[in-house]
Amino acid sequence: MQKLQNKKALITGAARGIGRAIAERLKEEGADIVITDIDDEALHQTGYELDLETHILDVSKESDWLEVSKKYPYIDILVNNAGITGFENGIRAQDPENTSLDDWCKVHAVNLDGTFMGCRYAIGAMKEKGTGSIINISSRSGMVGIAGAAAYASSKAAIRNHSKSVALYCARQGWKIRCNSIHPAAIMTLMWDAMLPQGEGREAAIDAFVKDTPLRRFGEVSEVAALTAMLANDESGYITGAEFTIDGGLLAGSAAAPG
């Protein structure tokens, strides 16, 4: 049964990876979807392949969000998925001692400022109807410290907390606008695939990476998409201000090898 029929959804960072998988799943559930991204070529390729409306959006720019609000004044679902790690242009210092202020600000501008402006837009686009679902994609790194990626961890932790502030604000206004955060750990995307060796040694590298994960594997983008779809539909109407880890049990406690 399509649980998102007659729902309008906007998804950021949807040209590839988790964002694309979320778009596919919400489309299967019947939603009318707009996918956005800063990568023009990849976005339009995805839009063509999935037969979805596209809109170029740099989530760190307020002017871009103003254009979105004019073009799409009413939505039912917003997925704030766009994000960067800080390593997109190569390996560089991202630890607390050596990170440059410029690098720190760039990561927060996309991850945190982008989520803030997305939530602000969604509230305005949902409050007339009085219902809606805002889903912010944070990270396992928003639950724990990451010594070598301080800006990324900080930005994702702030998304976790801001989601709760948005949830409380909307509830106090008497709106049924919900806001929740999802915290994936290592999900197999093109980014991870590129960092793993191809051919001989690949399986050993994967095994070494997930050895401390109780389920002993990478997550799949479809699993993040399934959780997003659940939070998007009205059956989750009593869930707001909550956080959902999807990490193979990594944060449950100590590692537990399969029996």
Q: How far is it, in rounded angstroms, from Cα 58 to Cα 79?
A: 15
Could you tell me if residue 216 is left (phi over 0), alpha (psi between -120 and 50 degrees) or otherwise beta? left
Calculate the alpha carbon distances from 228 to 133, 135, 136, 182 in Å. Answer: 10, 7, 9, 8
Catalytic residue among 72, 121, 152, 169: 152
Is residue 63 a contact partner of residue 113, using CB atoms and an 8 Å limit? no
DSSP 183-210: EE-SEE-HHHHHHSPPSTTHHHHHHHHT
Q: What angle do CA 123, 128, 134 make, to 5 degrees?
A: 30
* Cα 216 versus chain centre, distance: 23
What radius of gyration, in Å, describes the C-alpha atoms of the chain? 18
Is residue 250 a contact partner of residue 185, using CB atoms and an 8 Å limit? yes
Determine whether 152 is an active site residue: yes
Catalytically annotated residues: 152
